[in-house]
Structure formats: structure tokens, C-alpha cells
Amino acid sequence: MEQDLFSEFPPTSKAEWLARIEKDLKGKPLDELRWHLEEKITLDPFYHPEDMPGALPPLRGGRQDNNWEAGDYIDVEDVKTANAALLDGLKGGAEAPLFRLTFPLGQSQLEQLLEGAELSFISTNFGEHYTDKKPWELFGHFTALLDKRGTDKRTVRGSIDFDPLLDWSRPPIEELAGLIRYCEDFMPLFRPFQVNAHRFHSGPDDSSLELAYAIAKGSEYLARLTEHGLPAETINAHMQFSIAISKSYFVEIAKLRALRLLWANVMKAYGTPQAPFLAVHFAHETQDDNTNTNMIRASTQALSAVIGGADQLYILPANQGRQEKSTAFTRRIARNVQHLLKMESHLHRVIDPGAGSYYIEKLTEKLAEQAWEQFREMEVKGEFK
């Protein structure tokens, strides 16, 4: 027989809670406990069910769970060394290696880099960290490798950090449209471009502005690519947002949740309110020269990303705050944080872990409202035209 475990606890109104708080403050104004995140965002020290009339639905976004891909940074300065790091990471449970390329790869170099990796089992991601970027050539080498191996390209997941509005004075939108059409026909799980929002990140106090810039840029891609005859649904299926997060635990949870709400609202204007794909990274300024502190801090940063709804998560190796190259040990610890969140905390099973938290829901709402207001102003100004 079921027992009502809460029957012995009578409901308490917000007025009763406020009276108790005022008594405990002993004359100190309650206003002093309010948190001013931004000029127009103020948060109360506590929230009550009366502040949230009606339970808000979880942010499902078409999800069946909260699973994410465990990322692993692979710095490519020497192809053979990078391949060894890749295989070590895959043995350690990495699911989404991100190759940070420091020079353009030829066909044979790409084959050597990916030797021994079953590409239909993982998400293969590339970032070109050099000036003469030609992502369409890199993509061509990658698809040629898949053909050479006889890999079913429809099973291949991954991405390229191709952001025309960031890296080119004359954005190669035509080339991007061609990549999307190819992926639509042959590689439906691959994302050949992204909204790289790292440059918009300046800490938690500017989170709404960061969100506004991110969706404004994404909206501009929708506008330009639909002019090339691509449906918005197809564009969104092959695009991802790359987001940086800080150390502010609740703000980052709410920021990611707000981004999911905001982007669904943008897509709604095209008749298809789809969710965004979020690749989440730690902001470099969140790391310091104490590797032990960084390792501990990584757990709460990763937790905020996961609760917020990251689709991919990349944790900085703990020694990168010292401007050192990552080691097998620091990469392993970065991976293991994610394994703990999945295998021991089971956070991948709950679709929206932050749902129902009055504080998180209210902060999400305030960030989304403020970001949407700023986004509309940017649209009027033609921010990314």
C-alpha cells in the first residue's frame, strides 16, 4: 500500500516563508539578498511554487533521454602522435574526438590520423586552427577515406568547425550550401558547419547578450541558406552551436536551457520548431595554473553542461591552464569526469534534469526573455548582414 510521505508536512505559503526569512534577517532588508546578474535581470534569494503557476513541461526537444557524446581533444601537430592519442582516447571511452588541426591535412595524412578507428562507431570532429582554411577540401578528403574503406556514410557522425561568418570577409555560403546538400543526400548525421559562439562569451554577467548574438548568427545562416533553396529543417539538421561555459554553475545551466528555447522559437518562424545541437566547451579563462583545482572544478562545470542539455561535451585537460600540452593523464581525467556523470550519476537517463527547479526555471526564463529582446534589436540593425 502506498504511503504519502509528505502528509505530515503541512503546505507553507510564500507569505509564511517571507515572514520567517524577515524574522531571521533581524531587520536586514531582503533586497540585499537579491542577486543582480545583469542590469535587467534580478533574482530573488528563494522561489516558491506560487512563483511558478502551473508546472512547466521538461525541455524535451525531441529527445528520448539526456545522453551526450563524451568529447576528447586531440591536438594534431604530428599525425603519428595524434593517432596514438586518438586510439588511447577511444580505448578510454571517448565518443567524439575533436581534432584540433594546426596545418592542412592531405589525403594520406588524414588516413594515417584516423588509422585504427572505426568511424561508424564514433563522432569524428575537425577544427582548422590555421589561416588558410578550406573545410570543403578537408571534407572531401574525409569522404574519400570513407569510400576507400567502404564505410556506410549514412552511419557516420561528426562535424567541421566551418563558420563562414566568423572566418571569412567574403563568407563562402555557396560552398557551405554544397556541403549541406551532400550531407542531406549521403551523410544525414554529419554537421559540416557550426555557429561558433566562443567569441561572444565574456562571462556570466553578459549571458543574455551571448545568447542573443548566437541565435542572431544562426538566424542569419537560416536566411542566407534558405535563399539557396535549402529548407530550414535541413539546415538545422546539419548545423551545431559551439558554446563556451564559465564556472557559474546555475547561470550556465540556465544559459544552455535558454538557448534551446530560443532556437526552437527561431525555427518556429520557419514552421519547424526544432532543437539545436549543442557542442559545449569549457571557456579557457576558467582554468588556472593549479591542475588539482582544475580537475575538481571540472566536475561542476561538466555537471552544469549536462543538466543544461549538452549534446557533446569537451572538458579541458587540467594542465592547459599552464599553457602546457595535454598529457595522457590529464586527458584521461577529463574523460573520466564524463564517465562518472553517466555510469554513476546516470544523468544521461533524465531528459531534462533541471526541470521543476523553481530557481533554474526562473533564471532560464529571465535569460531567454532578455536575450530575445536583444536579438530582435539585432535583427532590426542587421547585425550579421
Residue 183 grid coordinates: 550531407
Number of other CB atoms surrounding residue 230 within 10 Å: 18
pLDDT for position 1: 47
Alpha carbon of residue 271 to chain centroid:
24
What is 69-381's CATH number? 3.20.20.240
* 71 beta partners: 96
* DSSP letter assigned to residue 252: H
Grid coordinates in use for 106?
592531405
Residue 159 pLDDT: 98
Amino acid 3: pLDDT: 62
Picking from 90, 91, 86, 115, the residue whose alpha carbon sits closest to that of residue 101 is 86
CA distances from 244 to 32, 147, 216, 219, 270 (A): 31, 34, 17, 19, 27
pLDDT tens for residues 19-44? Answer: 888 889 888 888 888 888 888 888 88
Q: In whole angstroms, what is the distance from residue 145 CA to residue 150 CA?
A: 8
> Looking at residue 2, what is its pLDDT?
56
Q: Which residues of the chain are modeled with pLDDT < 50?
A: 1
| Exposed e or buried b per residue across 261-299, where buried means at least 16 C-beta atoms within 10 angstroms of its C-beta | bbbbebbeebeeebbbbbbbbbbeebbeeebeebbebbe
CB neighbours of residue 78 within 10 Å? 11
The pLDDT of residue 346 is 92
At 124 the pLDDT is 98
Would you state the pLDDT for residue 271?
92
Phi and psi angles of residue 3, each rounded to the nearest 5 degrees, phi first? -115, 130
